A and B are shown apart, each in its own frame.
Chain A
């Protein structure tokens, strides 16, 4: 279980997170949704031990997080970490850092892209980069997987490809916990089991998708309703 207690993150005078409390049980796909700049990535970075909380604490399976939490959580950041010269260099490097990799799975996914492994990693398209990073994330044998804004900037073909791959992965690994952040509610609606709505530093709502869809037509409508309930106007 991931537990966040009274988490506050401030950057200068700006509060990126304000007394956030969350409990995420194991299993399923959890969507952390909200507009750009609402604090989604800050929550993720706090869970990954990258940001030290200004106040509050984060626990994973009862243990307070430090930067070594990456041993137990596979994380696809919102930055492109394929920074070594060729595609092969990156695959070799990352699959050797973590001992829990299924290298066959990495290669199976990457081979489906039909790219030359010796090509310059800078020459990859955004979509190809995301699928390679997806492979380097899901091929790890851990309990938790976090994807921070994986769909951002993707063209529709690779967006569908990513969603299909994640859906298939989830089918084969129902006990794993997957957290995905996005502001593209329509696109990820089909994927999710649980939804957390965040709006500028605060959690607006947190519920199972089945409960949400019993009351409203789609996540976007529900998300807007949460704005209204919180007294947010545009």
Chain B
């Protein structure tokens, strides 16, 4: 019991919860990016990958529920910590100069909230496939987004490739996606190194390296994700439209 109160009832413990859940979500981002980038290998490859995930509910659902739990823990700890932090300074300074603190570190709550709204939109857009919000007038869940599986007569799989091309061809959808990724990258540029600090896995020897690596990784993740809508807006996969 002491372990539970030490973790969920203390300031440091809540930061462990935030760091560990953040680490899992960060690893998911890398996996998700690796999956998405298969769009550049052509429709067959990414559609096969999409079918692999969608045809294995006993694997995908535990993964989804686990990620949801991590997201809930991440948001819960952020909310609790923010409430406590606000309460710790009831009277603000008339003049206050942020010292040494990076822009990202001071705006984690704001970048996090915007990324959170992005995640909800993104799930409704490509996972639940709500027609009304994709702004293209096409139904991603409809039969026109089904494609035959090669070698299996009569079997169909979801045409993930065409869905992505059609989806990102809309300028506003891509713009919101790029904004979401930019804020996610800002969030990560602080979060990746801060999680090592919160878990106590940082010292003077490799601490400065972690700080720099966090920024580089955040930028790489941004470039990786954004490459897809940018390529599509520039004409990649036009034949699928």
The answer on A and B forming one complex is: no
State the A residues within 8 Å of B (CB).
Answer: none
